[in-house]
Amino acid sequence: MISWKTPAEVEIIAEGGRRLALIMKELGKATKPGIATKELDRLAESLVFKFGGQCSFKGYGRGNEKPFPSCLCVSLNEEVVHGVPSQRKIKAGDLLSLDLGIFYQGFHTDMAKTWPVGEVSDLAKNLISATEKVLWLAIEAIKPGRRFGDLGFIIQHYAESQGFNVVRELCGHGIGRELHEEPEVLNYGQKGTGPELVEGMVFCLEPMLTIGNWRVKKGNNFSYKTIDKSLSAHFEHTVAVTKNGARVLTVL
Binding residues: 82, 99, 110, 173, 180, 206, 236
Cβ(233)–Cβ(127) below 8 Å: yes
Q: How far is CA 133 from the centre of its chain?
A: 14
Q: What is the DSSP letter of 89?
A: B
Reduce the DSSP state of residue 30 to 3 states and report it.
helix
In 6-82 the beta strands, taken as DSSP E runs, fall at 54-55, 72-76, 79-81
| Element housing 45 (H / E) | helix 37-50
Residues 6+ positions from 202 with CB-CB distance below 8 Å: 5, 10, 13, 174, 175, 176, 238, 239, 240, 241, 249
Q: Annotated binding residues for substrate, as ranges? A: 82, 180
Return the C-alpha torsion angle 155, 152, 179, 25, nearest 10. Answer: 10
Q: Annotated binding residues for a divalent metal cation, as ranges? A: 99, 110, 173, 206, 236
Cβ(238)–Cβ(109) below 8 Å: yes
